[in-house]
Amino acid sequence: MGNLDVRWQHGSPSSARNTDPLIQVHAYDEHTFILRQNKAVHYEAPFMFLLCGNERALLLDTGATEDAEQFPLRATVDRLLADRLAAHPRDGYELVVAHTHGHGDHHAGDGQFTGRPDTGVIPVDVDAVRGFFGITDWPKQVVRYDLGGRVLDVVGIPGHQAASIAIFDPWTGFLFTGDTVCRGRLYVKDFPAFVDSIRRLVDFAAARDVTWVLGCHIEMTTKPGRDYPIGTTYQPAEPPLQLPADCLTTVRDAAESVADRLGVHVFDDFIIYHGPCTGAVLRQAARGLGNRLVNRVRAIRKPAG
């Protein structure tokens, strides 16, 4: 099986001098690809996932940028699928574009797939997600979605955003959790729904052989409890993308412990934002400005000697 020992591109002190590819592609195996958007294109640098079965492929999320020149997602996906189909020929191979949730930094690139043959793009509203996957008892029902020899388990996990879903892939053991569980700031829109979702997610994972939990962002540093500020385009001290399966229990316990307390709650691998947290958001903006100024100084400073 593949590996996740990856040095993810983490930006540059100067966006103008950033030489990373616009999209980093990591082939976990010949059927599984993890993509990350360049931080110089958009500071969110979200991760996207391409899972290939015998009959169709699933692209999970389309990033934070619409423009195909700045962010050539379709061209990248087309190349990956063409290479795979050259090795495993199929007629009428489908592509399904789905989303971990409905925030703009995860579906901005949807329009690139308009008119692509044998392609369906699932809208980001709850009714569309329920209808496509056949979820009749939202969000509790677990349904299966078959890519052809690769059957995924799908369940609703609202709280961060109303249409949030988690997907388990038995082929890799990956549990994809979007922004609900990741190494970063967990913004909670509906806290009772979030706690319920995390509790169900713990049970969901316990019944499956989860190898790693994969969110869609890295916003933490390698220092426990310390995040990079919003807007950061250079993150040289990033921890790994993947989290162990027991992180779900940690998030559940943390969420339960602060359920009756509005505010920002800091934990080693994530930070829970419970409520508007206006002051904290303003402080984040100030931190981000300071961080960008420091990086600009670093970028123009001549090397010693």
The answer for 227, left when phi > 0, alpha when psi is -120 to 50, beta otherwise, is: beta
Q: Which single residue is written with the structure tokens 């640098």?
A: 45
The tokens for 270 are 């994530």
User: Considering only CA atoms, which of 84, 147, 85, 77 is closest in space to residue 112?
Assistant: 77
pTM: 0.94
Is residue 276 over pLDDT 90? no
Higher-scoring residue by pLDDT: 301, 263: 263
Contacts of 76 (CB under 8 A, 6+ apart): 23, 25, 35
For 83-116, b where at least 16 C-beta lie within 10 A, e where not — what string? ebeeeeeeeebbbbbbbbbbbebbbbbbebbeee
Q: Give the β-pairing of 271-274 and 263-266.
A: antiparallel
Query: What DSSP line would sit under 6-40, residue for residue?
Result: -----B-S-GGG--S-SEEEEEEETTEEEEEE-TT
Region 167-195: mean pLDDT is 98
Q: What is the pLDDT of residues 40-99, one digit of tens each?
A: 999 999 999 999 999 999 999 999 999 999 999 999 999 999 999 999 999 999 999 999
